[in-house]
Amino acid sequence: MRNAIVHVGILATLLWGLLRTDIDAYAADACTGLEDDVIVAGPSALPLGLIYRRALLDDDVLEAPTAVLEHVVVGGRGTRPGGGIVLEAESGGRLRVVPHSPAPIAAATRMRLVLATDAATRLEIELHDPVVGTRLYRHVDVPEGEQTIDVRMVDLRYDRGVIPRADRADSWGVRFVDGGAIELRAFELWRDDDLGPAERELAALRDDFDDPAAVTTYRRGAFALLSDAPRLDPEAVFDALDRMHGSVRTLLPSMPFAHRPTPLLVFADATEYGRFWRRFSARVGADIRPLEHDEGLTWQGVATASWSDEYPRVRPTFVHEAHHALLERSYGLSAGRSWLFEGLAILEQLEISAQDLRPVYRRGLHRRDASAELGALTDGTPIDTRGYWQAAMLAHWLTADPGRRAATDAMLLEMAARGDTDLRPIVDRYFGVEFAALSVDFWSWAWLAHGA
């Protein structure tokens, strides 16, 4: 007899709230024979081992509200009596399952999916954050045959936009990158260690260095610094990061506080820096490489750079990349290489480099008619490095005036909630003018201040 499902919205909400704030209320035995959709409760903290299991059998009824199918149909019985559910999907089809009882996703260190397929396929294993409506996921290449797929929580990634959190996830799912059929048999949550999420993330990042044993992890304030550079001065780096953090909070007093430390990784040399990105991005199912001219790179809220003999104390790139990661984690907004993130980071970097950008601004203004490009610059998409001077000049103009600075502080909260840094649709609400008028004001100031 299948477990009865009682749909009591208020009770479910209360239970889930309790789960997120006190995950120690659950406990489970490391037992592989749990019944369908079961958490074994007990008086102590969650032990190591299996903490949740949902068996999927061929008589399961996957329908709303406990399941959402998009371009997926239940195809019938599994490959053997008592087997799993056969799902037939179009490319891009998706299954999302809401557990009958609150699942301890926040306490898990990995997910396990048990399935079988008659042909190789590509899937994305997902967790859905209902607070922001976006997903964490891991791309998986699935070979033919019976498979047990393990995905660690630290190996999940997110897309550009509003950033989801695993500790808020209320459902799991599968997205079919390719069309086809799979027999889905079980979903499980496992707890493999007693580390907290922040410590687990830092440990995984340390393992992505060439020699994890050579890495030292330092912590201070809002930041965590991981490095194998033998001549790095961590105190000098933290002093610079703390000054940057204080400056940012003065500039943007409404900026939320990040729920985890912001990591800055400093490698002994540029070659190891490049190898890290191949290793780290492959771990999360992607392929991210720094551009040839990049001195640093931030992605998934992880700031990276390498040691340089040119800067024996603090390389300005450290501050620039840490600023990116700080804003991404504080606002919950993935907007790398956007005009606002780049412009603000350059301003903070100048506090270390002391570079005079006025000649850069003057050359840029005279090189071409830049005044027609503000709309394309501020549409929220990644900008080319050739546009960084414009982003820095615009960020300076927005933050130099008290009224515009307050407007920028407020609009960033809306941008974070919306998931992009497109300035065009919100100009009138925060600056009281249409976009065309703002452009005229900005370029008039730019030519007056830097064009001569």
For the ranges 92-106, 180-194, 227-241, 344-358, which has the lowest average pLDDT? 92-106
CB of 136 closer than 8 Å to CB of 127: yes
Would you place residue 380 in the very low, low, confident or very high pLDDT band (cuts 50, 70, 90)?
A: very high
Entry pTM: 0.88
In degrees, rounded to 5, the angle at the alpha carbon of residue 201 between the alpha carbons of residues 195 and 202 is: 95
Roughly what angle, to the nearest 10 degrees, separates helices 388-400 and 339-353?
80
Residue 2 burial (CB count, 10 A): 12
Please tell me the predicted confidence (pLDDT) of residue 370.
57
Amino acid at site 399: T
Distance CA 238, CA 252 (A): 20
CB of 364 closer than 8 Å to CB of 322: no
Residue 69 has pLDDT above 80, yes or no: yes
Instruction: Give backbone dihedrals phi and psi of 417, rounded to 5 degrees, phi first.
Output: -70, -35
For residues 11-39, average pLDDT: 33
Question: In sequence order, which residues have a C-beta less than 8 Å from that of residue 195 and are 6 or more positions away?
Answer: 109, 203
Rounded alpha-carbon distances, angstroms, from residue 313 to 223, 229, 238, 403: 17, 12, 11, 36
Strand 161-162 to strand 180-191: parallel, antiparallel, or no bridges (unpaired)? unpaired
Residue 141 burial (CB count, 10 A): 10
Please tell me the predicted confidence (pLDDT) of residue 15.
29
| Average pLDDT in the chain | 87
Token pair 């019985």 is at which residue? Answer: 77
Please give the distance of CA 249 from its chain centroid, rounded to a whole number: 22
CB of 226 closer than 8 Å to CB of 263: yes
Q: Which two tokens stand for residue 366?
A: 């005279």
Quick one: three-class SS letters along the chain? CCCCCCCCHHHHHHHHHHHHHCHHHCCCCCCCCCCCCECCCCCCCCCCEEEEEEECCCCCCCCCCCEEEEEEEEEECCCCCCCCEEEEEEEEEEEEECCCCCCCHHHCCEEEEEEEECCCEEEEEEEEECCCCEEEEEEEEECCEEEEEEEEHHHCECCCEECCCHHHCCEEEEEECCCEEEEEEEEEEEECCCCCHHHHHHHHHHHCCCCHHHCEEEEECCEEEEECCCCCCHHHHHHHHHHHHHHHHHHCCCCCCCCCCEEEEEECCHHHHHHHHHHHHHHCCCCCCCCCCCCEEEECCEEEEECCCCCCCCCHHHHHHHHHHHHHHHHCEECCCCHHHHHHHHHHHHHHHCCCCHHHHHHHHHHCCHHHCHHHHCCCCCCCHHHHHHHHHHHHHHHHCHHHHHHHHHHHHHHHHHCCCCCHHHHHHHHCCCHHHHHHHHHHHHHHHHCC
Distance CA 87, CA 75 (A): 5
Would you place residue 355 in the very low, low, confident or very high pLDDT band (cuts 50, 70, 90)?
A: confident
Residue 29 has pLDDT above 50, yes or no: no
Q: Find the radius of gyration of the CA atoms of the chain.
A: 25
Residue 46 has pLDDT above 80, yes or no: no
188-245 residue pLDDT tens: 999 999 999 999 999 999 999 999 999 999 999 999 999 999 999 999 999 999 999 9
Please tell me the predicted confidence (pLDDT) of residue 142.
96
For residues 53-72, average pLDDT: 84
